[in-house]
Amino acid sequence: MEKNLNLYIVIRTFILIPFWFIFLGLICTGIVCCIVLPYGRLIATKLYELFALVGIKLIGLKINLTGENLVNKKQSYVVVSNHSSSIDIFTHIHVLPVSIRFLTKAELFKIPIFGSALKVLGLPKVDRRNITKKEINKSVKEVIKNNNSIMVFAEGTRSHPDKGLLPFKKGAAWLAIKYKLPVLPVVTNNAGKLMPKGKIWLKSGDVDIEILEPISTKHMTLRDVSNLTTELENLIKSKIK
């Protein structure tokens, strides 16, 4: 049996996972229905936050957040974080002091109901095979218009906690510089040990999230994308325990 995995965790996972998917379906349906309601976008955001809260409670997470005082809640950011677990989706939505919208793969928008919910929430869509600046401009401007922030897992996929960070992709730095948004670096520790890539066991435990000093892109140009990407990768890497 996997290390730190006992019979209680196995039974708990098999009982709760079906209920989670039922709940997810209800939340997505509710978000889609919000499109016809007054203040529908606000209600949809509250359901989005409820989705994260229930996920945290279901798994049994205690989140220790530091650096919240560094954030201007009225400012939109490009939030950049490491990504070692599916848990990160729940924790970042729930505890970050800005409302985030994940940079999302186009394939997810094709899933019935779920994809419609993503559209209602205004998540920016990225199609690596057929990407146009016009589509990116429209989705990013919508996020900024609604005073939300763009959340980017700069590794592009989940990393393994024992193998360190994957190389950072340049998309987050490009977005931040292109739209003159400050970058908000965020470091997550321990999430990958509770639910590593490829595992769904509901292990309870602590997750430490540290918000670092925002980085201004005000005087940067697109020629600085590579340097900013390297700076972010080194900064976050230095904070991972």
pLDDT at 1: 46
Give the relative orientation of helices 171-178 and 225-239 as an angle to the nearest 10 degrees: 120
Q: Which amino acid belongs to residue 5?
A: L
27: phi then psi, degrees, rounded to nearest 5: -65, -45
Q: For 61, list phi and psi in degrees, rounded to 5.
A: -100, 145
Q: pLDDT tens for residues 190-224? A: 999 999 888 889 999 999 999 999 999 999 999 99
| pLDDT value for 3 | 60
Residue 177 is which amino acid? Answer: I
Q: For 11-40, what is each residue's pLDDT tens digit?
A: 999 999 999 999 999 999 999 999 888 888
Q: Tell whether 168 is covered by a domain.
A: yes
Does residue 169 lie in a domain region?
Answer: yes
For residue 37, CA distances in Å to 51, 149, 209 come to: 19, 24, 35
Distance CA 145, CA 164 (A): 36
Determine how β-strand 205-211 pairs with β-strand 183-189. Answer: antiparallel
- H/E stretch holding 208 reads strand 205-211
| Tally of domains within the chain | 1
Q: What is the pTM of this model?
A: 0.91
- Rounded Cα–Cα distance for residues 137 and 152 (Å): 16
pLDDT, residue 163, reads 73
Distance CA 124, CA 126 (A): 7
CA 34/CA 47 separation, integer angstroms: 10
Distance of CA 43 to the CA centre of its chain: 20
Q: Which residues of 80-92 are buried (b: 16+ CB within 10 A; e: fewer)?
A: bbbbbbbbbbbbb
Residue 2 in any domain: the answer is no
Q: Is residue 202 part of a domain?
A: yes
Q: Is residue 131 part of a domain?
A: yes
238 has which bridge partners? none
Range of the domain at 138: 7-239
d(CA 212, CA 239): 10
Given a contact cutoff of 8 angstroms between Cβ atoms, the answer to whether 87 and 61 are in contact is yes
**What pLDDT shows up at residue 135?**
64
Q: Judge whether 1 lies within some domain.
A: no
Query: What CATH number has the domain bearing residue 72?
Result: 3.40.1130
**Residue 220 neighbours by CB under 8 Å, 6+ apart:** 177, 228
Residue 178 lies in a domain: yes
123, 210, 214, 228: which is closest to 174 by C-alpha? 228
What per-residue confidence (pLDDT) applies to 16? 93
To 5 degrees, how large is the angle CA 230–CA 141–CA 109? 85
- Whether residue 114 is contained in a domain is answered as yes
Strands 149-153 and 78-81: parallel
Would you write out the chain's pLDDT as a tens digit for each of its 241 residues?
A: 456 678 899 999 999 999 999 999 999 999 999 988 888 889 999 999 999 999 999 999 999 999 999 999 999 999 999 998 999 999 999 999 999 999 888 888 889 999 999 999 999 887 766 555 566 677 888 899 889 999 999 998 888 776 778 999 998 999 999 999 999 999 999 999 999 888 889 999 999 999 999 999 999 999 999 999 999 999 999 999 8
